[in-house]
Amino acid sequence: MDKSEAAVIERLAADTKIGYSLDRKFYCDDAVFEADMDRVVSRKWIVAGHVDRVRNKGDYFLYKIGNESIIIVRSGESTINAFYNVCRHRGSLICTKPEGRVARLTCGYHAWSYGLDGALLAARLMPADFSKKDNGLHRCHIRVFYGFIFINLCDEAPVDFDASFADLAPYLDFHGFADAKIAYAQSYPTTANWKLIVENFVECYHCAPAHPEFCSMHPPEALIAFDAVDKYLPALRAWETRAASLGRPLGTVDDGPESSHLRLLLQRTIREGYDSETQDGRPASSLMGKRLGFDQGRMYLSFSPFTQLVATNDFAVLFLFTPRSTLHTDVDLYWLVDRHATEVDVKRMIWGWDETTKQDKDITENNQAGILSRHYQPGRYSEHERRVVTFQQWYLAQFGHTLACTNSGA
């Protein structure tokens, strides 16, 4: 982030009012996007995919974020590496296909060849003083945690992973994510700034008007503001007792705006009489993880604004929100099921979130289009959007700005 970018953010942040949407420049300005990449995106642990994509040695896939292409490749039973997809010779992309299996990482240009550990193994006809040792692939920080592959683009030492995520272990373990497989994947590239996509995802004020399929699968009281409202509490408490008896670890995680990753973990019921988040409530696959039986619950886990996870009993959906440029964000969904599931009804499994994500794509693209108007001005949030306010506080905190936490008078 250079000085002019810092000045842009400084000026904009000073004008931001708590309880109101952000100034249009936050959503439209290339200098802000550059600053976002430097100060936010590149400093967080972001999920790039699930280990099921790289089960065997040499399996790789590419993860594209901003202008970067990252190679995620398995080099051994217990090791997955992440490298910048840039040859140390003349900068060519090394892998050009989105996924595959390789014995070595060989650049198609001049055949410089790297091991799966990134070491330069072969470079023909180089000068005598050329050091192979100094010309391994640039590494990207990586950590695999219960099946999820986290990367961190930070040039220096990144924020400590375990300090950030270790407390989620019991939940991830219970759900069996390390032992999951990808049953379906779909991309929904969206013409909108990444912050609009996050802001849309963290509030359910729009669910009733915009997401009929989604609403049909949940009790209305559970949709409001992600908070357990009074009239929902008795049902929730009863479910918690039942769910605990079926082995589910209860608990909540609700990071504040000063946290590194703004995590959120909530556990709720689905629609009465439903066993799964499907159109008719019947499961689409077999039970995941350490469950003893269907408990009619769901978990919403936000690892960070960039990585969301929604788990019902028999499948889970992983959402990757990846900034590419000021007005373009990749939205990629992976439906996870138990690795040993043999009969997965894909059509029924994806019904809810495929429709809902198409709707969200339309919604956020319309939101972005409206914000381009000279007449857009920051608008007031409802009480059901307080998670958006929290996200904005967290976002501005990445630049050293604090928004007072009171909503009064706003």
Binding site for a second copy (CB under 8 A): 19, 21, 24, 66-69, 84-94, 96, 106, 108-111, 123-127, 129-130, 135, 138, 199, 205-206, 208-210, 362-363, 366-367, 369-377, 379-380, 382-384, 407, 409-410
Cβ nearer to a second copy, comparing 231 with 380: 380
Please report how close the Cβ of residue 19 comes to a second copy at its closest, in angstroms: 7
Please report how close the Cβ of residue 195 comes to a second copy at its closest, in angstroms: 11
Please report how close the Cβ of residue 361 comes to a second copy at its closest, in angstroms: 13
Q: How far apart are CA 378 and CA 161, in angstroms?
A: 35
Closest CA to 218 of 378, 356, 107, 325: 356
Cβ nearer to a second copy, comparing 87 with 349: 87
Q: In sequence order, which residues have a C-beta less than 8 Å from that of residue 402 and are 6 or more positions away?
A: 393, 396
Cβ nearer to a second copy, comparing 20 with 294: 20
Please report how close the Cβ of residue 360 comes to a second copy at its closest, in angstroms: 10
Q: How far apart are CA 241 and CA 233, in angstroms?
A: 12
Please report how close the Cβ of residue 35 comes to a second copy at its closest, in angstroms: 14
Cβ nearer to a second copy, comparing 19 with 297: 19
Sign of CA dihedral 140, 144, 149, 154: negative
Cβ nearer to a second copy, comparing 213 with 240: 213
Cβ nearer to a second copy, comparing 40 with 309: 40
Token pair in block for residue 269: 């019921």
Please report how close the Cβ of residue 30 comes to a second copy at its closest, in angstroms: 13
Q: How far apart are CA 190 and CA 197, in angstroms?
A: 8
* Dmax (CA) of the chain: 76
Sign of CA dihedral 334, 214, 192, 16: negative
Cβ nearer to a second copy, comparing 312 with 359: 359
Cβ nearer to a second copy, comparing 84 with 300: 84
Please report how close the Cβ of residue 235 comes to a second copy at its closest, in angstroms: 21
Token pair in block for residue 51: 């280990």
Amino acid at 149: I
Backbone Cα Rg of the chain: 22
Cβ nearer to a second copy, comparing 85 with 308: 85
Residues 168, 301 contacting (CB under 8 angstroms): yes
Beta-bridge mates of residue 141: 152
3-state secondary structure of 384: helix
Please report how close the Cβ of residue 288 comes to a second copy at its closest, in angstroms: 33
Residue 315 class from Cβ within 10 Å (0-12 exposed, 13-18 middle, 19+ buried)?
buried
Cβ nearer to a second copy, comparing 95 with 318: 95
* E strands present in 270-354: 297-304, 307-311, 316-325, 328-338
Q: How many CA atoms lie within 13 A of 370 on its CB side?
A: 11
Please report how close the Cβ of residue 209 comes to a second copy at its closest, in angstroms: 4
Please report how close the Cβ of residue 143 comes to a second copy at its closest, in angstroms: 19
Instruction: Compute CA distances 238 → 122, 140, 171, 234, whole Å.
Output: 63, 45, 20, 6
